[in-house]
Structure 1
Amino acid sequence: MGFKTRWRRTALAAVGTLTVALLSVLPVQPAAAATGQISGLAGKCIDVAGASSANGTAVQLYDCNGTGAQQWNVGTDGTIRALGKCLDVAGNSTADGAQLQLWDCSGGANQRWAVSAARDIVNPQANKCIDVPSANSANGTRLQIWTCNGTSAQKWTAPSGGPSQPSGFVVSEAQFNQMFPGRNSFYTYSGLTAALSSYPAFANSGSDTVKRQEAAAFLANVNHETGGLVHIVEQNTANYPHYCDWGQSYGCPAGQAAYYGRGPIQLSWNFNYKAAGDALGIDLLNNPWLVQNDPAVAWRTGLWYWNTQNGPGSMTPHNAMVNGAGFGQTIRSINGSLECDGRNPAQVQSRVDAYQRFAGILGVSPGANLYC
């Protein structure tokens, strides 16, 4: 498979603008749950201010005290409940800094949570983590959602029994090897699974079918971008000097020709290295070579793009799969300006063929809306 020419991907806001429909219009009764305190920064607990069950009551950090205001039911239905109500993202927002509150349980996507093996608690709709603002451990600090960054402000010890990131991933190592029989040894399965904690909602949102479809979709696009996980870096070296935008205030400190395509999604341009590095807590602007030298970093940049960037589309690839828009919209978000709407049907077909093949390996229907 030939390696395709890179394009200018613009770094966008962290989550697509697609509005997610309510999972149910009726109140949802809690499934089997584990109950107890949820502790985090400085050993303090997630707490309902004033032990009030009124809608809109702030959810905050506070000294652990064992009261009902800190007893949370972490349900297998994805809800986290206290005082008979649900942990809720105010205003159904997906933005960084959206505050947490207590609210009547409605089945809304803003009341769904997943606890990862890395101790993140993630709202899959926003693909963001419960966070202590500025890592302020003072009593009464109101909690929010924020782009997952792996810091102590986002690490929680919750009672077991709730939804979690499957430790084995929905793709087994044997299936991964079947998908990529000729892959470069750089692209390790362990590197991929190590990167999952950066975006715990990936392949962990919705039904088992949706989880498998998303994993297949991501890996199918990765397959196309890298020629079957063969290429680590962009093959056309003549393009390398093109990916420096000197219009950015930070310039290109690693050099004019340092920001070429690398990794499973072939991250390119200085502004994308800056944005991905900032999100992941890695200085990729000054050291872009990490993406071609560290398999986990490479996979994390691919997951960063997949989960947070709209690209030339109108939604993130993650949201396209989770919200039922279909595989075709993932193509549009990755390379729509060059491939979709009849511009390069052969390239689109290559991605679709890989997706259908990978979905078959995972034993799941590929669903509708395969083309863009």
Structure 2
Amino acid sequence: MDRPTTGPHRRRFQLGRATIGAVIAALLTAFFTVTPAHAADGQITGLAGKCVDVAAANSANGTPVQLYDCNGTNAQRWSNPGDGTLRALGKCLDVASGGTADGTPVQLWDCNGSAAQQWALPAARDIVNPQANKCLDVTGNNSANGTRLQIWTCSGGANQKWSSPGAGGGTGGNPSGFVVSEAQFNQMFPGRNGFYTYNGLTQALSSYPAFANSGSDTVKRQEAAAFLANVSHETGGLVYVVEQNTANYPHYCDWGQPYGCPAGQAAYYGRGPIQLSWNFNYKAAGDALGIDLLNNPWLVQNDSAVAWRTGLWYWNTSTGAGSMTSHNAMVNQAGFGQTIRTINGSLECDGRNPSQVQSRVDAYQRFTSILGVSPGGNLYC
């Protein structure tokens, strides 16, 4: 699927291999603060249906935060104002001394903007401190009143699952059930083209239900972050819908295919999050998705859900220049680097273009931070 990106840079992407030129690195290297979406005040409930509670309703700095029977008092009324903090009694939920070790207790403290007071609320119902990359945890899985809360390596256990302001019930306040909430998607792509809608992405998920829905909560979030990081790199941060260099448009018709190019010689240029191009790729993607993209390739630039489906088609079905699909690379814990190899390994991996690899890794690490999950190992190819 050939397309130039911007200026003189070019990218070649065909079924079975991809070639990526430079795309607006600034959009991929900026760091965004992890902030959950704004939500109304409310209780945070967890193990045994009990509430996150400020001990004795004491607002002094260092007051322990604990599990306790829900009672509707202000000691259990938490707000998520949208700045990354969780607040009660006018103060912030804080990791004691800014610690990052398993077992570090949490407490109430004056809000000070530190990383010890930042909390990400992913759809998996964890409450994660990104600095430590650890979850809010009920010590010892003990549901007794007064059990101290702490941070601990995220395990997916019931003692780390919460219904909270901005996180909600089983899908984190996210009706789609996708592990990336709309607020998190907006945070990942603050300057995206309006064509790339969150609704279009969540509609497309039905085509590949195993995507970001296989394995543990951690694996699901890692796969979503990996996919979005790669398409971010491909499109300059979801800015480009179609290939920018129109002079290349006539080049993507392979008349050696028995079906030819019924939409026209210049109709199969790069479109969508994976920049689908070439008549044989439109034919293969359309056949897999039950959409006639060979005769109507313009659907990929006119219908957001169709565009997202083409990206998920490649992610879930193609081994490209690698030995596994990108989906399998993430689900089987081969690492993010294997997704790069599948998508563009022939031109980027094994030292061929380290700056492009680094751009993808930077995006992936940023997105896993937003989702409150470790990026895992084997990030490079």
TM-score, normalised by the number of residues in structure 2? 0.56
Counterpart of 2:347? 338
Aligned mates of 2:297, 2:225 — CA distance in 1: 27
1:7 aligned to 2:12? yes
Cα displacement (A) at 1:11 = 5.3
Counterpart of 2:281 (choices 272, 292, 309) is: 272
Deviates more, 1:172-181 or 1:305-314: 305-314
Counterpart of 1:217 (choices 223, 226, 232) is: 226
Cα displacement (A) at 1:340 = 1.0
Cα displacement (A) at 1:332 = 0.9
Alignment length, in residue pairs? 221
Conservation of the 8 A alpha-carbon contact between 1:9 and 1:312: no
Cα displacement (A) at 1:242 = 1.4
Conservation of the 8 A alpha-carbon contact between 1:326 and 1:369: yes
Cα displacement (A) at 1:315 = 0.8
Cα displacement (A) at 1:10 = 2.4
Alignment of 1:131-150 (within 5 A): none
Higher relative contact order (CA 8 A, sep 6+): 2
Which amino acid in structure 2 is aligned with residue 5 of structure 1?
Answer: R
Counterpart of 1:63? none
Aligned mates of 2:329, 2:283 — CA distance in 1: 25
**C-alpha RMSD of the superposition:** 1.9
Cα displacement (A) at 1:2 = 5.4
Q: Deviations over 1:309-352 (max 9, x none)?
A: 11111111000100111101101111111111111111110000
Aligned mates of 2:246, 2:351 — CA distance in 1: 28
- Provide closer, same or farther for how the CA distance between residues 282 and 212 of structure 1 changes in structure 2, counting only shifts above 3 A: same
1:260 aligned to 2:265? no
Larger Rg: 2
Aligned mates of 1:213, 1:305 — CA distance in 2: 18
Which amino acid in structure 1 is aligned with residue 11 of structure 2?
Answer: R
Q: Deviations over 1:137-177 (max 9, x none)?
A: xxxxxxxxxxxxxxxxxxxxxxxxxxxx9832000000000
Q: What are structure 1's unaligned runs of at least 5 residues? A: 13-164
Which amino acid in structure 2 is aligned with residue 10 of structure 1?
Answer: L
Counterpart of 1:246? 255
Cα displacement (A) at 1:8 = 4.2
Q: Deviations over 1:285-315 (max 9, x none)?
A: 0100000000000000000000001111111
- Provide closer, same or farther for how the CA distance between residues 313 and 166 of structure 1 changes in structure 2, counting only shifts above 3 A: farther
Aligned mates of 1:237, 1:203 — CA distance in 2: 34
Stretches (4+) displaced over 4 A:
1-4
Q: Deviations over 1:117-154 (max 9, x none)?
A: xxxxxxxxxxxxxxxxxxxxxxxxxxxxxxxxxxxxxx
Alignment of 1:119-130 (within 5 A): none
Alignment of 1:1-372 (within 5 A): 3=6, 5-10=10-15, 167-372=176-381
Which amino acid in structure 2 is aligned with residue 7 of structure 1?
Answer: R
Q: Deviations over 1:178-216 (max 9, x none)?
A: 000000000000000000000000000000000000000
Aligned mates of 2:5, 2:320 — CA distance in 1: 23
Which amino acid in structure 1 is aligned with residue 179 of structure 2?
Answer: V
TM-score, normalised by the number of residues in structure 1? 0.57
Conservation of the 8 A alpha-carbon contact between 2:317 and 2:325: yes
